[in-house]
Amino acid sequence: MASSTEKSLESWIWDAASSIRGAKDAPKYKDYILPLIFTKRLCDVFDDEVNRIAKEVGSRKKAFQLAKADHKLVRFYLPLVPEDPDQPVWSVIRKLSDKIGEDVTTQMRAIARENPTLEGIINRVDFNATTHGQRDIDDDRLSNLIEAISTKRLGLDDVEADIIGKSYEYLIRKFAEGGGQSAGEFYTPPAVGTIMSRVLQPEPGMDIYDPTCGSGGLLIKCEIAMEEASKGKKRTVAPLKLYGQESTADTWAMACMNMIIHDMEGQIEIGDTFKNPKLRDSRGKLRTFDRVVANPMWNQDWFTEADYDNDELERFPSGAGFPGKSSADWGWVQHIHASMNETGRAAIILDTGAASRGSGNAGINKEKSVRQWFVDHDLVESVLYLPENLFYNTTAPGIVLFLNKAKPKDRQGKVFLVNASQIFEKGDPKNFIPDAGITHIAETLIGWKEEEKLSRIVDHAELKKNDYNISPSRYIHTSDAETYRPIAEIVEELNVIETEAKETDKALREILKQLGV
């Protein structure tokens, strides 16, 4: 559960959101709140740095002058100088009283001009924007929002660097709770991200990649896991190098803010990763990484066979190929596999059906064929079956697929399956995995520890016998009464069979038409 500090932060964020309630639909609140929280953080950190310089030169007035003359003295130079230099830098924004929307936008743009790395990130939002002649957020509400944000100091010693990530996650969660209006956002439960990052065991200096990075939450989890694992070791811990790509512009900006506020090394690109991955090497080939984490949108159905056939990056090997029109889940797995270096490992959140669809069906199933390719090439290290009702846009449990290009010899020819469907606590409105459960699941996966009604090591022969069904629920029953597969999985498979039947029927009609029959 959330700590008292997190609850205090959440209360503060929700007070800020409530200050403009009604001004925009809930999912749009974050577009105003987060850039202002980010700016408040920049202001308070700049204040901390000005105070540090002032101790050496005698006054804040001189410190402001020095920072203006040499921007290298501070992380980010803010051209916001209060009339009284002893006042906080944020007071320049807090004291705005006329044309607030226009002036806030002007100040944001001025900060971006002075700091090229913030261009397109801090200045994305027009606080003075109108729709049909009506202000999207009027000055009274904007003033209330600024005042709400002003109540908490966000300097170096005041809050964790994860302020943007936590704020973003909290707002997305609250909006999802409020009727599912999450604007298509896919919120990854923090516990799932923590398990993934711990199992991948990222080491200092590694390159970590998320092709569908959202606000960067899974990348941040990897950094946290690495730092926690390195505690107490007598060596300088090199930070991870974090890389990602995100298709939605506003979410991309949040990921960039997250990287900046954490002072982390990395690069976040914008664009459709599936159709145009931006992270390439000097030869234009797909860049590869030590670790990959991802939570792609489940069962995307807008990629065609042509998208796979026309790929020039060798992401979709001929032996595996097109997983079918109805779900790109294994297409994402193929992209991730191609993005792993020779000793790379990955953790990918997928719909539960990705582990079983097509198995047991008569004839050839494209998705099963891709899954078989991954099993036969000994790339699947383990599969984690999650509890139901963790995710905000579905009650389906989901799985985490772990890949490893360099499996240890004693694990080759085998897959470790974990059915954690019963490790959760009831929450409102969503279930959650408690801290003890996170540790239990992660340690089980790391150690390949077999435990009755939880985990099993299954060899490839048994997987083949079961037609390459790799769902833990197929092999591990959590109670004596549980002898049937989850209904959701069966329904998923029926939908796929129906879709493929329609595609086959359409293709057959085309052939008959061409033959003049």
Q: What is the mean pLDDT of each run of 10 residues along the chain (517 residues)?
A: 63 84 65 90 95 96 96 95 95 94 96 94 92 91 94 85 71 62 59 97 96 91 91 71 92 87 86 95 96 95 90 87 91 97 98 90 81 97 96 88 97 98 90 96 98 97 96 87 57 68 75 76
pLDDT of residue 180: 45
Return all residues near 437 (Cβ < 8 A) that are at least 6 apart.
191, 420, 423, 424, 425
Which sign, positive or negative, has the C-alpha torsion 498, 503, 509, 515?
Answer: negative
Q: Measuring CA to CA, how many Å separate 392 from each of 76, 255, 328, 340, 341?
A: 36, 20, 21, 29, 33
pLDDT of residue 320: 85
Amino acid at 407: K
Measured distance CA(251)–CA(31) in Å, rounded: 9
- Indicate the domain borders of the chain: 4-177, 190-486
Instruction: Print burial letters for 384-399: b (CB count within 10 Å at least 16), e (below 16).
Output: bbbbbbbbbeeebbbb
453, 444 contact by CB (below 8 A): no
Cα–Cα nearest to 294, from 236, 346, 359: 346
CATH class name, domain 4-177: mainly alpha
The third-level CATH classification (topology) of the domain covering 190-486 is: Rossmann fold (3.40.50)
DSSP 203: -
CA atoms within 13 A on the CB side of 53: 20
Q: What are phi and psi of 417, to 5 degrees?
A: -110, 135
pLDDT tens digits for 462-478? Answer: 999 999 999 999 999 88
Return all residues near 471 (Cβ < 8 A) that are at least 6 apart.
352, 355, 356, 383, 385, 399, 485, 489
Measured distance CA(403)–CA(347) in Å, rounded: 6
Q: Do domains 4-177 and 190-486 have the same CATH topology?
A: no
Query: Strand 414-419 and strand 380-385: pairing?
Result: parallel
pLDDT of residue 493: 65
pLDDT of residue 264: 81
